[in-house]
Chains A and B, each alone.
Chain A
Amino acid sequence: MTESHDMTKTLTGERSRDALVIGGGVAGMQAALDIASQGFKVYLVEKSPSIGGRMAQLDKTFPTLDCSACILTPRLSEVSRHPDIELLAYSEVKDVKGEEGNFRVQVLRKTRKVHVDKCTACGNCLSVCPVEVPNEFDGNLGFRKAIYMPFPQATPAVMTIDADTCIDCNRCAKECDRGAIDYTLTDETVELHVGAIILATGYRLFDVAKYPRLGYNRYQNVINALEYERLINAAGPTMGHLLRMSDGKAPKKIGFIQCVGARDIQKGVPLCSRICCMYGIKNAVMAKEHDPEAEVTIYYLDIRAFGKGFEEFYEMARTRFGVKFVRGRVGDVNEDAATENLIVRVENTETGTVEDVVHDMIILSPGVQPPIDLSEMVGNMGVHVDTDGYVEVEDVLLAPVDTKIPGIYVCGCAEGPRDIPDSVAAGSAAAMRAAITLVKGDDKN
């Protein structure tokens, strides 16, 4: 991996044998590794300061309950060490021109105000920075400084100054023995010449605050699934202890509400997000692992356990871990002001009764949506999005990673909601299609 600033090429008119992958999540990393391992150069552009994507934020994966970071970290390392992958983290694609085999891409390299070749991520600067802000990586529940690394295994392992919150006190620069911090550094734009492009821009979570009746933003003990993931993670803000934000007590009666922002036409999200059932069950199992005495309930519409080992995992949650499943859409969540406990009103469609159930903590499982700027970004390339906002493919059955623009491919959740194994598989598939383009030119001939 290199992070050099001199990558402009001037091969006007020539076909390029280099590839560009946009998005450094698990799908994008797989695509980059598979192309680079065939001997092609790959530029991997990632918007945030580190690659790793959403998977880096997860505690465990379903259905195996493997530690997410344990699987991901070697992959981060592999990308960072690969001689044919040039990582452009903290960068954004601004413009794409050209055609298959000969794309010209403008990439904005946002400044970290840190010389990446000098910073060793020693962390001395952190102790002197006086600015505390919410850590996005911890779902805004944890803390970071204005100079920060999103998580300990961040790749590249360099500090970044958040220009929005930095107060220019210069303490970090004075503390840095290596002279890595430089406030005079500015953004720059570089041009890449590539033959194929892979879109791996991932997803965003549905904003569960759009359901005010479920209490998010109104009650402190209603959180979303990503915040929950960070709370139960040993490297998270509470060092793996599940606590209520209102009083620091461990919840004993926990409720998970499924399909929040999925399969709901009125909210403009008719699509099933595919992953919520299983991550909801996984989170419920983890609640029981943390505290076997806790009462854990999942409120669901359907359980869609469609993948290998998923049905067995669901059964295990029910029978071995004792997770209670209640079929029915939750009407509303209200708070008992004295105890800050939450009262869930639900119609149990299996018994036909309306029940009020008290919980200490409620976790909303949001559906997934395409990134907010996806339509605009891919529109600049001539690529269209479908009615749900995901990248439209040439043929969902026979060309599921080809966009309608030759030379541009898509993988992971940029094309639609999918889990980690499916995202990795799509990353490899897109890499193969891109490699054919790079080797043979127009692969449709």
Chain B
Amino acid sequence: MLEIYLNRLAVWKPIGVDGISVRPSPSGVSYLTKDSLVYKQSDGPLYRYAKNYEAGKGKNRVKFSVFLRTDRTDDQIEAEIDEIAKTIPQDYIEKAIKNASFTNFVYTDLYIKDKEVL
């Protein structure tokens, strides 16, 4: 699934840095939203957030990353991702990182709040 879903969390293998990674994308990116399967086009930059997390205990401990794209720029995003990342089931994470590549990642059904809701 290589579409961009706005505000939707994806699970992937660990990224190269710990801490939050943020990078803007050029405007004009096509994306889908939670409520609409019709593509929209961004008229400003979308921001990609990515951060590493760990799940499980002992031998079952796994490191993974969560990333998403959003048009939000507020400072609550990282805390919101932190909270949601805790709720991702471990078997889901293991399955995601097992086959992770630049063309293979797994979207969750979890979203951060829309800009309009805030």
A and B: bona fide binding partners: no
- Interface residues of chain A, those whose CB is within 8 Å of chain B, are none
